[in-house]
Amino acid sequence: MKKRPAILLLALGLLVATLVGGAASAEDFAVGADYTAKTQVRDSVAALIPTGDSKADEKLEKAIEKLEEGLDLELWSEDYEVINSKAFDKDRKAVKELVKAIEELGGAAPSDDIALILDDLLAINGAIAANYIEAATAAGGDSEKIAKANEKMAKAAEKVAGDELEDAVDEYRRAWEEGEKAFDKIEDASALSGDWSEYTFYFVNLETGEETGPLTGTSREDDPLGYTGKNEGYLMVGDTLMQLHVSCSDAFVDGIGEKSDPAADSPWRVDSYTIDKYKKGEFSKSCDYVNTGTVTPPPPPPSGTPTTPGTATTDPVYTSGAKWSQYTFWFVNTETGETTGGLFGTSHPDDSVGYTGNSNEGLLIVGDTLMQLHVSCSDVFLDGVGQKSDPTADSPWRVDRYEIAKFKEGELHSTCSYVGMPRPSITVDGTYTTDGTPMTGEPGSGETVDSGDPVTFTLTVTNDGNVDLTDVTVTNDVFGAEFATGSDCAADALAAGATLVCVVTDVTVPDGPHTNTTTVTGTYEGTTESATEVLEFTVESGTVIVPPPG
C-alpha cells in the first residue's frame, strides 16, 4: 500500500479509564497519539488482572492478545498511521472478549472499568476512521467514496448507541476502507505520484522589520502556483512572487538563496524554512533551516543537566528560530535498576550538544552513552526503545518517561508527555544532625551523641518511579503517631520525581543504644509501595531533646 500524506489528526490522546475514571470521546484525543493510545488500552486491561474470577481473567488475557496483534507494526506506517484494515479486525475481536469478561463478572468489579476501556477503544477506532476520511477529503479524494465513508460513520454511531460494539468497529473499518478508496482515486490520476517538495517558509522585511509566515506551497505538478518543472517552488510574499530552491540544498545565507535568489527586487529575506521531499509518491526526507546570522540567543543549559520534573521544558531557552523541541527524559538501567533524574536538552540549531541537523531529533548523554532520540512527540518508546530512533543501542539504558515542549517562532506550540510501563517506586533517606554536625545514622557506624546535644532528624522521601503516587505517609516505630501527623511528613499526592522533606522535632530520646525504623508508603492504582530507613546511634548518658528547627 502506498504511503499517504501526513494526516493532521483531529483526535487521539487516550484518557485511559482506569487512570482518570471516565470514558473518552473522539474530541478528547491529542494529535498523533493513536498508536500510543492503543498501547495504553492494552496496559489498562492488563492492570485489571487478576479480577478474582478466573474465567473473566481468561477473557481479558485473550483481549490483550488481540490488542497486541492490532499493534503489529506491519499494520502501521512509519508515522504510526493505520495502513491495514486488520488493525480494526483485531480490535473488534478484543471488544468481543472484553464484553465476555463483563458477562463472566456479572456486573461485579471491575466491570465498570472494563466498560470504560471499551468506550475508549471505540473512540480510538472512530477517530482513526474520521481522521482518514478528513485527510482524503482535504486531499481532493473521490467524493462518492467519501460520501459512502460518512454513511458508514453514521451507521457506526448507531451501533454504538445500541451497544452493538463489535458491529460498530466493523462499520468504522468499512468507513476507513472507503476513505482508502477515495485516496486510490487520487493515485490513479497520478496526483500523488512523481517527485515533489512540500515547503513552509518564513520571511522578514529588511526595511520595516515585518515578519510573515508560515507561507506554504508545493512543487507538485498539479500545483498551479508552486510548480516550476524542477527543484524550484513559488510563493507570494507581500506583493512579490518569489522563486525558491526547495530541494534542501540551498543555504539562504543572510536570507538570500545561493541557487536561486528569492530576494531580487524585494526587501524580503528568508528567515527559516521546513521542507518535506517526496520521491515516486513516497516521503523521502525532511530538512529545515534557520537564518541565525543576526540572532544572538541566550546560551542554552548544557544538554544532559538534571532538571526539576515538569518545569524544564515549557519556558523557551531561545527567543527565535523556526522550530525546535525542548525535552526532558528519564531513563532506567535494565541491568542495575538505576534511574536517572530528568535529563534536559534542546534540538535548537544553536545547541552545540543537542542539535543533530533535524529539529525532530535530539541528543542526550546518559551515563557514558550519547543517545539520539526522536523528540517530535510521535515516538512511543515501547519498552523504552524508540520506534523512530533507537536511543538504547549498545546500552542498558531505556527511556522511562519524557516531557517535550515544541516551539515555533520562539513561541510554545504544543507539549506532550509519555510514561512507559508503569513503575511505581518510593524511597526514603534519613540523616540526623547533632550540635550542628551532620551524621549518617548508618547501622554499625558506632556514632554517639553526647547528653544534652541538640539533635534534628531529617527524612527525605522521593518518588523515584515514573508515575504519581497518592496517600503518601511516613511512620516511625519510635516517634509514633505524633511524628506521622507532621505537616511535612505526609502528602495526598507525590509526583513522579518529586520529594518531600520531613523534619522531626520535639522528640525526647532516652539514653543508651538508639535504633529507629522509618517506613514510607505510597499508593498507585490500589497497590501500595513502601520503603524503610534505619538510623542508629548511642546516647552516652542522660536524654536528648530534639528542638524545633531554627
Alpha helices in 14-110 (DSSP H): 17-20, 34-46, 54-70, 86-105
Residue 295 has pLDDT above 50, yes or no: no
Question: Where is average pLDDT lowest: 27-36, 158-167, 513-522?
Answer: 27-36
- My answer on whether 137 and 221 are in the same domain is no
pTM reported for the whole predicted model: 0.37
3-state secondary structure of 513: strand
Residue 550 lies in a domain: no
pLDDT of res. 36? 81
pLDDT of res. 22? 39
Strand 448-449 and strand 527-539: pairing? parallel
- Which CATH number does the domain housing residue 521 bear? 2.60.40.10
- My answer on whether 117 and 90 are in the same domain is yes
Whether the Cβ atoms of residue 542 and residue 514 lie closer than 8 Å to each other: no
Residue 301 lies in a domain: no
Q: What is the pLDDT of residues 407-431, one digit of tens each?
A: 877 788 777 777 766 778 898 888 8
Residue type, 2: K
Q: Dihedrals φ, ψ of 82, to 5°? A: -65, 130
Measured CA to CA, the distance from residue 310 to residue 78 in angstroms comes to 29
Owning domain of residue 342: 312-419
Residue 269 has pLDDT above 70, yes or no: yes
Q: Dihedrals φ, ψ of 290, to 5°? A: -130, 125
**Phi-psi category of residue 66: left, alpha or beta, with phi > 0 → left and psi -120 to 50 → alpha:** alpha
Residue 377 has pLDDT above 80, yes or no: no
- My answer on whether 326 and 350 are in the same domain is yes
Measured CA to CA, the distance from residue 146 to residue 260 in angstroms comes to 41
- My answer on whether 410 and 488 are in the same domain is no
- My answer on whether 61 and 167 are in the same domain is yes
* End residue of a domain, out of 419, 436, 454: 419
Q: What is the pLDDT of residues 4-22, one digit of tens each?
A: 333 222 233 332 233 333 3
Q: Which residue has the cell 526547495?
A: 246
Burial tier of 481 (Cβ tally within 10 Å: 0-12, 13-18, 19+): exposed
Residue 306 lies in a domain: no
What would the grid cell of residue 226 be? 508552486
Q: What is the pLDDT of residues 502-548, one digit of tens each?
A: 887 655 566 778 787 888 899 988 888 888 888 887 777 654 444 44
Residues 6+ apart with CB under 8 A from 398: 331, 332, 333, 334, 381, 383, 384, 385, 392, 420
Q: What is the pLDDT of residues 124-146, one digit of tens each?
A: 999 899 888 888 887 777 888 88
- My answer on whether 493 and 461 are in the same domain is yes
- My answer on whether 37 and 174 are in the same domain is yes
* H or E, element range at 171: helix 165-188
- My answer on whether 63 and 179 are in the same domain is yes
Q: State the pLDDT confidence band at 202, using cuts at 50, 70 and 90.
A: confident
DSSP 26: G
Whether the Cβ atoms of residue 123 and residue 165 lie closer than 8 Å to each other: no
Residue 489 has pLDDT above 70, yes or no: yes
Whether the Cβ atoms of residue 40 and residue 14 lie closer than 8 Å to each other: yes
- My answer on whether 534 and 472 are in the same domain is yes
Residue type, 157: A
Burial tier of 364 (Cβ tally within 10 Å: 0-12, 13-18, 19+): buried
* End residue of a domain, out of 135, 170, 188: 188
3-state secondary structure of 541: coil
- My answer on whether 157 and 66 are in the same domain is yes
User: Around 298, how many Cα atoms within 13 Å sit in the side-chain half-sphere?
Assistant: 8
pLDDT of res. 545? 46
- My answer on whether 169 and 206 are in the same domain is no
Strand 211-218 and strand 232-237: pairing? unpaired
Residue 4 lies in a domain: no
User: Around 358, how many Cα atoms within 13 Å sit in the side-chain half-sphere?
Assistant: 14
- My answer on whether 181 and 237 are in the same domain is no
pLDDT of res. 303? 37
Residue 255 lies in a domain: yes
First to last CA, the chain: 71
Residue 384 lies in a domain: yes
pLDDT of res. 382? 66
Number of folded domains that form the chain: 4
Measured CA to CA, the distance from residue 303 to residue 322 in angstroms comes to 20
Question: Where is average pLDDT lowest: 59-63, 396-400, 415-419?
Answer: 415-419
Residue 332 lies in a domain: yes
pLDDT of res. 18? 30
Residue 2 has pLDDT above 60, yes or no: no
Whether the Cβ atoms of residue 457 and residue 517 lie closer than 8 Å to each other: no
Instruction: Encode 312-369 in three state secondary structure.
Output: CCCCCCCCCCCEEEEEEEEEEECCCCCECCEEEEECCCCCCCCCCCCCCEEEEEECCE
Residue 336 lies in a domain: yes
* End residue of a domain, out of 188, 223, 252: 188
